[in-house]
Amino acid sequence: MYYKAEEMFKTIVALFATLFVTTQGCHHENYTTVGITPVNNCIQFSVGPGTGCEWMCNYCANQLGTFNYYFPDSVCTYQTGGCVGNPVAGKVYSCCSV
């Protein structure tokens, strides 16, 4: 069961990544990289207005190279239907691989 949920999550994140790139284009930057090199398996970044958890989850998966990660402050969580939460623009967030 867990394996199928993980595969579904990977598929959903990939679809949202495609949608984000297609709808946002390369000209719109909605985040600031604070720490791109994983330190202790974590990266830090801040987001701009209108950036949601779907984008944050996709960004973390891509930067960390895994779908097995978490947000220490639980700003975003994966639930049935996708990655949800309420990020605040300008705040520094971290995500860490397990």
Q: What percent of the chain has pLDDT over 90?
A: 54
Higher pLDDT, 37 or 86: 86
Q: What is the pTM of this model?
A: 0.62
Q: 55 with 30: CB under 8 angstroms?
A: yes
Mean pLDDT of the chain: 75
Query: Can you tell me the distance from the alpha carbon of 88 to that of 95, in angstroms, rounded to the nearest whole number?
Result: 15
